[in-house]
Structure 1
């Protein structure tokens, strides 16, 4: 599929066909795409935790309230056959930029114009979303309640210095009724040429 077509087709999918598993070869290609993205200093500090079957069920048990019935969003997301939890390692970036070819030996994060451990995780996540579309599947990126991150880390053995960025659900989209969409902001509002507020 051409990249332009992937960009047009990509949307956040919030309900999946539970009878349609993600083929293993397709999942491997999606994961590979997520790892083949730009990385500051080629640090490669973003890691992926893949959950399906009982592991996926365990994730939902940890991150949701068993006493509360799932709302429409949650009920839909729980139909995803695969979850990919995206983690980033800030210490890996600080260590990498303290190496001789970079030379920031004090490891002070204030030197960074932006925390690139998050930037790289965003690039990784977008690559996962695009790759899912390329495989004829759907995907959605969503966050994790902050008070559940520690239990998720503990349940799946994730080292303490890895930060949870979010989760990408993957599966075959279910047929759902059309819903109203928020309008896309125009390029004139978002693209500034030479001077802020100047689009032409």
Structure 2
């Protein structure tokens, strides 16, 4: 197969002065550009874009024509070879995306972000002043001897205590007190559960 690849590309290079690496490099750039366009459209329209196999083939053919020039149809030279290269590009991009995801997860584990207990959607983390913060608006000063891991363990303990007698989900919130402090509390309307998890000065 490799010798077949070289033979076909020798034919292509004769007219186009190209190489396998150069073709893959240019196709990858176009492929990534197309992915960005699709992602922006999905975010803008808030819907999925369905691409059929025929659409993918047409998309691939258009990119090849952009590289080789409109005067020559590269699929007439060797469709299987060029499509194989296109598939290599797609697989490499998938592998890169997966590697980036793993790296991101490892980085989050290293900084020990937790899911915000207030909004239950966004990550919460400690800032330089030891405040527990989240972009949802959470800002609560943790005592200096308590890190995120300890705080997360305290939340889990509170959840375990509540779940022993109630199946509802408790709600977390930060509220001020008349003593000029802030309380991080857990409560449940179903069973009237209430627990002050932490209290710190304002």
Q: Which category of TM-score, normalised to the shorter sequence, fits these structures? A: under 0.3
The structure whose RCO (Cα within 8 Å, separation 6+) is larger is: 1
Normalised to the residue count of structure 2, the TM-score between the two structures is 0.24
Structure whose CA Rg is larger: 2
